[in-house]
Structure 1
Amino acid sequence: MRSRTRLFGTLRREPELYALLVSGALYSAGLVLRYSLRIEGAPVLAIFILVYLLVGSKIIKMAARSLVGGNPFNENFLLTIATLGAFAIGEYPEAVGVMLFFRVGEYLQDLALARSRRSIKSLLSFRAEYANLKVGDELRRVKPENVRVGDVIVVRPGERIPLDGVVIKGTSAVDMSPLTGESVPKAVEPGDEVLSGAVNLSGLLEVRVVREYRESTAAKILSLVERASARKARVEKFITRFARYYTPAVVSIAFAVALLPPLFTGSPLGAWAYRALVLLVISCPCALVLSVPLSYFGGLGRAAREGVLVKGSNFLDQLASLKVVAFDKTGTLTKGVFRVVKVCPKNGFGSVEVLRLAALAESYSNHPIAQAIRQAWRGEVEGRVEEYEEIAGQGVRARIGGVVVMVGNDRLLHREGVKHDVCDVAGGTVVHVVVNDMYAGYLLIRDEVKEEARNAIHELRKLGVRRVVMLTGDSRHVAKVVAEELGLDEYYAELLPSDKVRLIGEMCKKGRGPVAFVGDGVNDAPVIARADVGIAMGALGSDAAIEVADVVVMDDKLTRIPKAIEIARRTRRIAVQNIALAVAVKVAVLALGAVGRATMWEALFADVGVALITVLNSMRVLKS
């Protein structure tokens, strides 16, 4: 009883399914009357006409619109002409059967497409529907769009964080997997930043909003994914162009098959007209124009599930063909967490004085090395910075209480003509300190290579990437140590940002295949933009990275890059499979139809059947 109630409920919600079931029953009755009971004439014809109108009225209306709009070469127009032609030569059962099963195939395709879109939406369903706005002592449930910067919101356990903000009260564990794919919850406490789309797992949090909804992480990611489907891969563009010429060509062949043999050989018009109608049904290109974009759409969704946002199908294609991958060093191949391990004063300066002046000079810089120097000082930096200048790729110059302090690399000292007896030191990065043009000493700073870096590079080589390169502004000695530890093919050191852009440009021009550059998305924005595929690592919450990169890795795990390449290759492989199957079946049935060996049933399979198979094949990319 319960299953019957559920069935009737489904039929009420889906009138199309109801119409198809009724049409199928009537069509079966017509077949029984004509072929089993041998009944001909008006009653049987009336049944077939009724079924044809039930299932074909929608197709006929769309065909009429396309004809009026000047675009007749689509499946609706071709199917209408083919089935009406079959009626005209007395093939009523086949005409109705083709229309009925075409509609059944369309219905099943729509179900498959809807499931695919639901799967992708579920991967990206991190938009919160409401926010708990704190106003005085009460909470108001409002839309995230109505919350302003500086407002305080409350996030209960189990709720999705609606806007980017900073925790001001409470501690909790936050599930970041909707954004980064990271399964381990992140512990947060007052002062920590939380991002929209993450899920609060345990404690009650009060969060001060730092970005309006339209600027939030979730909104930017959703916008990025929506825009990505508009950027077509080369295979998609080829299919669009192919369909534009393929369909009119087959229609022309069909008319030639219908008219020329009877005209020149005196053969019966009916037999050749039937063959032409078969060709018209085959000429529908829906298997090609539907399945290939769906393959890439699924690939974009699958990559998003793995914490990698690809900005378009064209970049999936580029990822699938990568031959050269260049990495930035600091924060990409290494952890970017620096520590001052040694202070070596020179020329009568003391260790404390050298460290204090370096910390003061670097007080306005956001560079990881500058942060390490300030942390090493471990206290308030006494003194006032009167002037400050950042020298790209070399260091900084500052005036502190009338004293000019320069902090930077060896290149800065040579540019300024400062005499010094130390250039590079084994075991880390050297930061030199100069006071009033006198060499005051150096700091030795060390970074660590990421644990997964070697494994990621190994996976890239297994995938056929021929060259793995490192570009860094660090010293040659440090670059050599990292390159040897990771087994890189080449490394380039002591580079300015403009040098990196030039080198990547040269690699791209050599034509050895697409070149990717992997960086942090902020300091490396120009070179990321120059590469064939610009990949920004750890870009969650970084507006610059999301804007400039072609591929955005939402955390800093290098292993996501080979995973993205695997997904891209699987996507393209499935798209090519769909093209090969559709073209092979259509060519075979076209040949059979031209010599009279194929009926409309084979033609229907070549169109609707193959389209359904390719759509189901496209959905495989969503699975692990």
Structure 2
Amino acid sequence: MAKNTKKELILEGLCCANCAAKIEARVKILSGVDNASINFVNKVLTIEMGNPENVPKIIGMTKKIINHIEPDVVVKERSSFAEKSQEEEKNNGFLDLLKDKKDLIFILIGAIIYGITFFLNENFTFKLVLYIVAYLLIGSEVLIKSVKNILKGEVFDENFLMAVASIGAFAVKQYPEAVAVMLFYEIGEFFQDLAVDRSRKSITDLMDIKPDFANLKIGSDLKKVNPNDVAVGDIIVVKPGEKVPLDGKVIEGTSLLDTSNLTGESIPREASIGSLVLGGFINTSGVLTIEVNKSFGESSISKILELVENASSKKAKAENFITKFAKYYTPVVTFSALALAVIPPLILPDATFSNWIYRALVFLVISCPCALVISVPLGFFGGIGAASKKGILVKGSNYLEALNNSSIVVFDKTGTLTKGIFKVTDIFTANGFDKDTLMQYVSYAETYSNHPIAKSILQYYDKPINKDEIKNYTEISGLGVSATFKGKNILAGNSKLMISKNINFSHTDTFGSVVHIAIDNIYAGYVTISDEVKSDSASAIKALKSLGIKKTVMLTGDTKKAADIIGNQLGIDEIYSELLPQDKVYKLEQLFKNKTNKEQLLFVGDGINDAPVLSRADIGVAMGGLGSDAAIEAADIVIMDDAPSKLATALKIAKRTRGIVLQNIAFALGVKIILLLLGALGFATMWEAVFGDVGVALIAVLNSMRVLNVKNM
């Protein structure tokens, strides 16, 4: 299947969340578009297209849609994450926002004129003139946008609602309130934009790992360059206090590296000659000379940052609900307001049109759905940012939301619950073979294997190996390896391999992984390799159960005895051992049959050897995935160090995020419903209505930012 073509557009100046939702909805239905998603926090529209030939046409149509809905937005194409524009790099603060609000001076003058009216005597004509002047100065931008949008068929937006409400207030002779509605709407919008920009900055700061420069070594000189300009094979120098700009291998120097930006761990990591280092690490002590092995666009830091940014393209159900809800909510409330203005005066005795029109205008002011449209995606994006600060990469809001429904967690053993650092602990010989001969044969047989067990055997053997002497090397999936050495056929693997070849072998109940060896179909003995359980595995299992996980399961290809010892030590509920890769998928299918549709099954593995199971699970979690392209590609969630306890942290962040999102939905809808009822009954005025719009949105945005507090998780 051909991979989708993906294009990203930067929407500079986008400040309306409701308009952003409209842009996304219209781009989605364009012919040739497979999916479109807008990240309002970062102002980036991501479009996925099936046929590359349609890209120019679709981009052109998309720009027309954006210009139609938001004509002031400047659209720029972004070819890669590494080529991030200066506009995106800028953290909009208070002063930047003041610059963007070009009409702020008119609003201030209008506010002053409006304030003067409170100190004037009752001169109706003069005061009315001042009200109109103040109104036009304050609301000119809203009125102009409203007219433009109506001419383009864009009726139901906040500009239209505020224009109709304020003009209607003039019509029913509520002059002070007409000006006040527009004034406080503009003030509220200003502080709402400020809060959103602050939240953008807060989330961006959580992933402040992008290096600003690289010290490129040219001969004996150092030249400070952009990391994008460094090529594979170039030599760079990282001084104390500087960020490592690109992935590479240390060729000179020793130092301690702060990896907390990527892993969330505060314990420094030692680096010396031969060590692999990743971009984003901070050099805390010595000077390091590094040979670059990946360009910036292909480096781990670039992939991680891009993954976090693009997480918003996979939206949670709550986000999709709010988008659909907003689409119907505003028109319904608008027509309800029209009915409220017309019907009661026609059927109720002593009812006046002016009174009921005023109540209808209150409806209009309240009806803007911005509080929901802004705060819900902002809450999820904040949760993703908070998780990344803890060294947990979540590929989408949908996965963060799904974590809340997790009921079964299935673990791989090696490298997940155990350290995956194997050591030879026992050597048993048979049929006249001695230990040296046995270790020589098994070492040569395992030379080409990348399995941790094979590496531990080679480390124990610790002698030069002439690979030219190895012939006919073959990996036998789930069983072991075979090879020819010195004219002899060597088999090395588990008991199933011996049984499949009809070789009589010695059964053992020893703890650890056992590699049986046969030479020319004669059993030569076995080597026992033991692994060590991670220090936080037991506490991780306990924490998961306290967070509501109903069942924990361990799947492993290891021996039953070794698996049972580790599983019982950690408190695992179900243990399945001696499994081939296909057996793991079969066991997973059985677990699927015993859960409800609402329950989510998590599989936690190393992200490399467990790809089939990771992709089959509801949520695939890769452990120890730091710097592993395979892990980042295969899993839905990547834990960037190898700490199982981070899974519990991810669940806590997911629950906290859901709680805050639900609070925002309940608060925004609750306040609006109450004010709508009060407005219909005549108890709410324009003042309460303005709070129901911009005030609620501001509070919801501020509440969303609480998800970033992850100090105690």
TM-score, structure 1 as length reference: 0.95
Distance 1:475 1:9, change over 3 A: closer
Q: State the SS of the aligned residue for 1:333.
A: coil
Structure 1 match to 2:477 = 392
Structure 1 match to 2:426 = 342
Distance 1:274 1:9, change over 3 A: closer
Structure 2 match to 1:29 = 116
Distance 1:519 1:92, change over 3 A: same
Distance 1:583 1:415, change over 3 A: same
Structure 2 match to 1:175 = 258
The whole-number CA distance in structure 2 between the counterparts of 1:123 and 1:150 is 31
Q: State the SS of the aligned residue for 2:472.
A: strand
Distance 1:501 1:269, change over 3 A: same
Deviations 1:392-433 (A, max 9, x none): 1111111112211111111111122212231x4222111101
Distance 1:451 1:232, change over 3 A: same
Deviation at 1:443, TM superposition (A): 0.5
Q: State the SS of the aligned residue for 2:517.
A: strand
Say which of 309, 313, 317 aligns to 1:226.
309
Amino acid at match of 2:430: K
Q: State the SS of the aligned residue for 2:415.
A: helix
The whole-number CA distance in structure 2 between the counterparts of 1:407 and 1:12 is 71
Structure 2 match to 1:242 = 325
Distance 1:438 1:66, change over 3 A: farther
- Whether 1:269 aligns to 2:353 is yes
Distance 1:96 1:386, change over 3 A: same
Deviation at 1:60, TM superposition (A): 2.4
Deviations 1:135-184 (A, max 9, x none): 22222222211211111111111111111000001111111111111112
Contact 2:111 2:138 in 1 (8 A): no
Structure 2 match to 1:523 = 609
Structure 2 match to 1:546 = 632
Say which of 162, 166, 169 aligns to 2:245.
162
Which 4+ stretches in 1 moved above 6 angstroms?
Answer: 7-14
- Whether 1:46 aligns to 2:129 is yes
Distance 1:96 1:390, change over 3 A: same
Highest relative contact order (Cα 8 Å, sep 6+), 1 or 2?
1
Distance 1:305 1:20, change over 3 A: farther
- Whether 1:70 aligns to 2:149 is no
The whole-number CA distance in structure 2 between the counterparts of 1:397 and 1:259 is 87
- Whether 1:152 aligns to 2:238 is no
Distance 1:110 1:12, change over 3 A: closer
Structure 2 match to 1:206 = 289
- Whether 1:310 aligns to 2:394 is yes
- Whether 1:258 aligns to 2:337 is no
The whole-number CA distance in structure 2 between the counterparts of 1:8 and 1:516 is 46
Contact 1:11 1:18 in 2 (8 A): no
The whole-number CA distance in structure 2 between the counterparts of 1:309 and 1:303 is 7
Deviation at 1:263, TM superposition (A): 3.1
Amino acid at match of 2:111: G
Structure 2 match to 1:443 = 527
- Whether 1:615 aligns to 2:701 is yes
Structure 2 match to 1:3 = none
Amino acid at match of 1:263: L
Structure 2 match to 1:90 = 173
Contact 1:66 1:72 in 2 (8 A): yes
The whole-number CA distance in structure 1 between the counterparts of 2:618 and 2:149 is 40
Deviations 1:422-456 (A, max 9, x none): 1x422211110111111111011111111110111
The whole-number CA distance in structure 1 between the counterparts of 2:698 and 2:373 is 12
Deviations 1:519-553 (A, max 9, x none): 11111122111111111111111001111111111
Structure 2 match to 1:323 = 407
Contact 1:508 1:514 in 2 (8 A): no
The whole-number CA distance in structure 1 between the counterparts of 2:274 and 2:506 is 44
The whole-number CA distance in structure 2 between the counterparts of 1:516 and 1:325 is 5
Deviation at 1:40, TM superposition (A): 1.6
Say which of 477, 482, 494 aligns to 1:409.
494
The whole-number CA distance in structure 1 between the counterparts of 2:601 and 2:444 is 40
Structure 2 match to 1:564 = 650
Deviation at 1:381, TM superposition (A): 2.7
The whole-number CA distance in structure 2 between the counterparts of 1:19 and 1:618 is 32
Q: State the SS of the aligned residue for 1:582.
A: helix
Structure 1 match to 2:374 = 290
Structure 2 match to 1:117 = 200
Contact 2:506 2:525 in 1 (8 A): no
Q: State the SS of the aligned residue for 1:158.
A: coil
The whole-number CA distance in structure 2 between the counterparts of 1:479 and 1:335 is 14
Say which of 664, 669, 679 aligns to 1:593.
679
Distance 1:308 1:16, change over 3 A: farther
Distance 1:311 1:475, change over 3 A: same
Deviations 1:359-418 (A, max 9, x none): 111101111101111011022135611111111111111111221111111111112221
Structure 1 match to 2:300 = 217
Provide the alpha-carbon RMSD of the alignment: 1.8
The whole-number CA distance in structure 2 between the counterparts of 1:217 and 1:10 is 33
Structure 1 match to 2:30 = none
Say which of 535, 539, 542 aligns to 2:621.
535
Amino acid at match of 2:517: V
Identity %: 49
Contact 1:505 1:531 in 2 (8 A): no
The whole-number CA distance in structure 2 between the counterparts of 1:86 and 1:615 is 29
How is 1:421-440 mapped onto 2 (pairs within 5 angstroms)? 421-422=506-507, 424-440=508-524
Contact 1:508 1:532 in 2 (8 A): no
The whole-number CA distance in structure 2 between the counterparts of 1:498 and 1:16 is 65
Deviation at 1:235, TM superposition (A): 0.8
The whole-number CA distance in structure 2 between the counterparts of 1:530 and 1:11 is 50
